[in-house]
Amino acid sequence: MVREGFDLSLSELKTQVVQMMDDVDEIMEKSVRSLIEQDMETARWAISFDDVIDSLRDDIEERCIDLLALQQPAARDLRILFSILSIVNDLERMGDYSVNIAKEAILIGDEQHIKPLKDIPKMKIIISEMIKNTKKSFIEEDSRLAYRVGREDELVDELYKNIYNEILHKVNENAGNISQGTRFLFVGRYLERMGDHLTNICEKIIYIVDGKRVEIN
């Protein structure tokens, strides 16, 4: 009966982690959309929604600690619980980066963009797909999928390099582009860091499934 109760609690915990992944995907999508469409209402929604993500992270951490303290987890269970603690902190940081993007959108406001936004939307699409496949690998305990997803961070890195070079060119053309150009660089950097956090999560999924610590990139 003790083991059955533990398994049920662990299953509920995993469900919460999946929900947190969905929430992070939503806040990331909304924050980038607020920048592209210059939609201040959506930006403010993203900023406020981060509280939901923080609260869920806190709840998951408390439940993990309760299971560690009150149950007698086996070796694999310990791997899962400690990995979940790490995963939710990576997800929480992704939520914070999304808030930062929404704040940059508000600071830019309705200013005409100094360049068409091509690479930032591409980064958003890749990261959203990475989140979905990370979730799939977590649910299905598919370490090979997790490894493939982690490798996709290289695509995000390349797009960030493109943004950096384009902004540098725009600033060299016209010093008046510095302020907005810097904000776009920040956005690109925040998205690039989100890709890094997803890679961290994929490494933890591999650890859960295979018991191996790996560095994907």
**8-32 pLDDT, tens digit each:** 888 999 999 999 999 999 999 999 9
Find the range with the poorest average confidence among 2-6, 131-135, 165-169. 2-6
**107-126 pLDDT, tens digit each:** 999 999 999 999 999 999 99
pLDDT above 50: residue 158: yes
Quickly list DSSP for 87-110.
HHHHHHHHHHHHHHHHHHHHHHTT
CB burial class (10 A; 0-12, 13-18, 19+) of residue 118?
exposed
Structure tokens at 193: 């860091």
**Which residue reads 């305990």 in tokens?**
141
Q: How many whole angstroms from its chain centre is CA 113?
A: 26
Stretch 79-86: mean pLDDT, rounded? Answer: 95
Q: What domains appear along the chain, each with residue ranges and CATH number?
A: 2-210 (1.20.58.220)
